[in-house]
Every structure is written in structure tokens, then in C-alpha cells.
Amino acid sequence: MSWFFAALAAQFALGSSVVLDKLLLKKSYRNPAGYTFWIGIIGFSAIALIPFGFTLTTAPIILGLFTGVIFVLALLFLYFALSGGEASNTIPLIGALSSIITLVWGYLLLHLGLDLLEFFSFALLIIGGICLAITEPKNVRRKVILFAALSSILFGLSNVLTKATFLEANFITAFVWIKIGAGLTALSFLIIPSVRKMILRPEQRDEFRNRWGYIANRILAGAGSILMYVAFSLGAPALVAATANLQYAFIFLGGWLILKERFRGWTFTLKIASLFFISLGVISLGTLDYLKAHAPAPNRPIAWGVTFSQKFSALMGFDWKENYNAILDDLGAKRLRVGAYWDLIEPQQGQFDFADLDYQMDRANETGAKVVLAIGRKVPRWPECHTPPWAQEFPISNFSAEGGSAPGGQFSNKAQNEALLTYMKTVIERYRNHPALLYWQVENEPFLPFGICPPFDVEFFEKEVALLKSLDTEHPLLVTDSGELSLWFRAAKRGDVFGTTMYRRVENRYFGNIDYNLPPEFFRLKEAFSRFMAKKPDQKYLVIELGAEPWLHHQLYETDIQDQLAVFDLPFFKDTIRYANETGFDEYYLWGAEWWYWMKEKHNMPEFWDYAKSVISATP
């Protein structure tokens, strides 16, 4: 069973029970201590579960008993708070506070935290609870807040201790010990004479007037309680606790229909706002739960490849052909992405030199490797746009609205664009029948403003795409976009295959190292959204650029080796591969092959190269 659905059902039962609790406390049973006593005593009924899997182990005994003690004390203060405030205010107040405190206790005692998307969902639920809490009438606010604060602190501790108990024993064993602890705590109330009298000889003659309603409500609450324990055994304590705010929907309706509580003006607005935030939080949690329940198989077949740049390899001080051959022959890469650099292939207008690109394509074919060939003005490696000098020197008169409008009211260079299309046509016609060709890539992350490039012109980009598709109908078109900074669907709907980047740590000149602490589910959720928006449910998605080298403000060959290792060391490399695997794609192209080779050959540090080799060797 999913913790989310267990919690959802539990909150339905508990929310309904709270409304009935409020009804009984106001009209029949005004004794919070006595009410808590009987709830604790009912806990002894858990003994009936002993034949169904209970094991007599010492580890959970003390922890379970202590958890039961804390739970009953939290419950006592809850009923004191409930007897002094509206049901629709009191529970959300305690729900919001106890959820936050559960998060704190969980971190302190069990080192449990939340990832970014979980925290987002958690925050929405808390905001909803706070919106309700601040609607409490002023004349009872201090009293309710006092009891609510005490209850929240104890509930938060109880939630975390409950999780800890389930970590020590099976569900039946942990549940029985917690309930025995609650029952023993309730019995201890009888030690205090005044409390004993309130429980056994109440002064109010009508306290048990609704005895059967009370019993039925306890059965309902008991069912909700068991489901909550199931949720705690399966999920993160803070998230389970935060779902207490789900009770609002039931309390709001129950308070309005049964208890005749009325809300107007600002109070009504806040309650509606809280419903919005809580609903959004529930949807978010449900989505996360679905994604985690459908996590990709860790041992699924994955194709691992690399990006290679002859320009970057040369800048690192190598004969780029030696570097390239090592990638093919030693590293064993069977998937490659290479760039068709305009400035290298057409150094003078109309004069083409394909020797280097021919070498890369032919050597790939010799080793059985397949190539993603990136063409256009903007292709991998700095400065991103590799326009030849002659094309940059077209006179200003060649700037025309006919070249296509660009953001900010600027215009593309018409003559340069025409020259680029001519160049692309020549490249496409040369390699469209090459046996090593797997995909074409037109431009690199065209929708991301990055690098030393002219403003992006979407109209001209579509001309590039149309040109490719008119010349080669056999090979798919790959369009790429930023993994963290873009929405993907604009790129996805223009290509046959979509490729995302994936970087986990980058350097910023102002803020230093920035880690993208995004959960793996972020990429699967984004993929689902992009497929929906692009209206291409069956489109192939892959990671075209998985950051596997240091991202620094300066070029790697310009920076100290220790500065590089401070950003990207071998443990981080291994964790990057683990993280990428969990995102669920089945094809990845690593970014950093030139750097691994540089570390091995120039700095006698072959571990990056060797680890990459072990990863790539797993490609089916």
C-alpha cells in the first residue's frame, strides 16, 4: 500500500471524527481528560493483534512504550485546545505546527529530510494550515495557541518516535507496543484523585448521553488511527504529519453543516485560500507518490555515450585525433556526439574542408559507434556559436527585417543566415548516407540564451529545421534544451527526438558553487509535462549532455587542478551517474571525455577515465 493513499483515507476518517468530537465535547462530554483517558484505554485492544505477527523482541519495547506516552499527552492537549476553539480552526493550527515540528524532530533524531519537491508539497500544506489558524477568534486565540503549541510539540515528537519504532520492528509488533504504552499512560491518570473523580464520577449527568455515538466515533477514529500508523510505517514522518491539513476539507464542511459554524468576510476568504493551498499540496504529493511508485528499474538497459569536441581537445594541449581514438578504442564509446564546426569546415566562404569531420565519422564507423552530428551556428563547447570570421564581417547593411525578427527588436544578419543555410545544406548532403550517422542535431540548446551568440531567432531556426527535413527523411532530428532552466516543450515539438542537459553543480562568479538539488522525479515530471504540451506522447527523450567535468567560470585549462577537484571529484562523479540512472532515461551522453583524458595523461590521475570506462562498458 502507498503511504499517500493510507494517509488520505486516514485523514478522511479522522476529519469526520473530529467534527463528531467537537459535537460531543460541546453537547455531551465536556471533559478532555476523561475523553483522552478512554481513547488511551481503547489502545489495549491492540493486544488482540498479538497472534497475527507479534514478535517478542527487546528493541522496540521501550521505544514503543515511550511513544505511546508522548502520544497520549499530545492528545490530552489537543482536546483541551479543541474544547476552546472552533473545530475548523483548532485542527489546522495543530496540523501546521506539528508538521513543522515533526520535520525538525525527524532531522534531529533520525536525520530525515525532504527533497526539493517534497518540501514544496509540504510547504503548500503548511501554508494552508496557517491560513486557517489565523482565522481563530481573538477572544480564544491565546488559550488555543497555548494548548495547540504543547500538543504540536508532543505530536511532532510522537510522529518521529512512531517512525523510529517501525524501523525497529514489524508493523504488528510496533503498533502493539505503542498502544500498550498509550493504555498504561491513560491508566496513570487514575493516580491523581481529582482526575480520577472526573473520569469515574463525573459531575455532569449528561456526559454519556450520546454513549453509542461516542463508541461509533471511536471506531471511526480508530480506523483512521490505524491507517495513519500504516502511513508512518511507509512514508516520511513530516509528509505524513503534513497531511493532517487534509482534514480541513471535512472539518470545513462538517463545521458548516453539522456544527453550524459560519464564516464571513476575511475569515471566509482565508478558509477558501487554505483549501486552495491544501488541495495543491495534495495534488503535488499524489504526483510525487505516483512517480516514486513507478520509479525506473535500476538494472534496465542504458546506452552511455560521450560528447567529443576536437576544438576543446586541442585547447587542452592534445593531438585531438589521439584523444578521439582513445575514446573509441580504450574508453569503448559506442555512442558519440560530435560537432560540425562551421569555422573549421568553411574557413573561407565557399571553401570546405571536411577532412577532420570525415575522420571522426569514418573512425566511428570502423569501431561500430553511432554519431549524433550537431550542425548549425551554435554547437557544443565554448563559445557556443562557432561562426567563421568571414561571416562575422558582413557589412551592417545586411541586417534586415527579412532575416527574421529576434527578441528585443533586433534583427538577424540576413547574409550570414543565408551563408549558414548554404553551409548546412552542404554538410547534410555529405553525411546523410553515412553509416555512422544516428541523429542530426540542429543548433545546441537553441532556446537557451547562452554563449557568445546573436539573439535567438525562432523563425530562422525553423528554416534550419525545415532544410534538414527536406534533405534527409531517414534520420531523426534531435533538438536540445536546458534541463534546469527551460520548459522543454518548445524544443520537443520541433524535433523527432528531444535531448536535455543535466548538470548538478555549476560555478557562479557571484554566488560560488551552486548545486541543483533537484530530486530525480523532477526530470520525469518535466518530461510528462513536455510530452503533454508538445502533443507527442511517444517521442523519445534522452540526456544529451550529462555534466561529468567541473563547471567553472574559466576554462579548465586555465584553472588550478585543486580548484577543479573541489567542484568535481570522483565521488561526485559516481553520485552523478547514480542520480542520472534514477531519472529514468535510457540514453545518456557524458560531457567531459576530453577532461578525463587530460587528467589521465597530463596529471597522472586516471581514475576519472577508468570510472567512465566502467560505466560506458555497460552499454548494451
396-416 pLDDT, tens per residue? 555 544 444 444 334 468 899
In a 3-state reduction of DSSP, which class is residue 541?
Answer: strand
Cα(453)–Cα(472) distance, integer angstroms:
27
Instruction: Look at residues 256, 269, 265, 278 and name the one whose alpha carbon lies nearest to residue 86.
Output: 256
Instruction: Look at residues 407, 440, 120, 152 and name the one whose alpha carbon lies nearest to residue 282.
Output: 120
Residues 6+ apart with CB under 8 A from 294: none
Residues 6+ apart with CB under 8 A from 176: 46, 47, 49, 50, 54, 64
pLDDT of residue 41: 92
Provide the angle, in degrees to the nearest 10, between the axes of the packed helices 247-257 and 116-133.
20
pTM: 0.77
pLDDT of residue 404: 46
pLDDT of residue 192: 87
pLDDT of residue 138: 53
pLDDT of residue 440: 99
Please state the separation of Cα 596 from the chain's center in Å: 30
pLDDT of residue 411: 47
| 8 Å CB contact between 44 and 180 | yes
Please state the separation of Cα 449 from the chain's center in Å: 25
Instruction: Cite the DSSP H helix spans in 437-520.
Output: 458-471, 489-492
Is there a cis peptide before residue 383, judged by omega within 30 degrees of 0? yes
Cα(93)–Cα(602) distance, integer angstroms:
62
Domains, the chain, with CATH or none: 3-293 (no CATH), 303-616 (3.20.20.80)
pLDDT of residue 203: 62
532-589 pLDDT, tens per residue? 999 999 999 999 999 999 999 889 999 999 999 999 999 999 999 999 999 999 999 9
DSSP sequence for 259-315: S-----HHHHHHHHHHHHHHHHHHHHHHHHHHHHHTPPPTTS--EEEEEE-HHHHHH
In this prediction, the residues of the chain whose per-residue pLDDT falls under 70 are 1, 18, 21-30, 84-91, 135-141, 201-211, 214, 248-265, 395-412
431-456 pLDDT, tens per residue? 999 999 999 999 999 999 999 999 89
pLDDT of residue 408: 37
| 8 Å CB contact between 597 and 322 | no
Report the mean per-residue pLDDT for the chain: 88
Provide the angle, in degrees to the nearest 10, between the axes of the packed helices 247-257 and 87-105.
170
Provide the angle, in degrees to the nearest 10, between the axes of the packed helices 87-105 and 138-168.
40
Cα(128)–Cα(203) distance, integer angstroms:
39
Quick count: other Cβ atoms within 10 Å of Cβ 422?
Answer: 13
Instruction: Cite the DSSP H helix spans in 472-569.
Output: 489-492, 521-534, 561-567
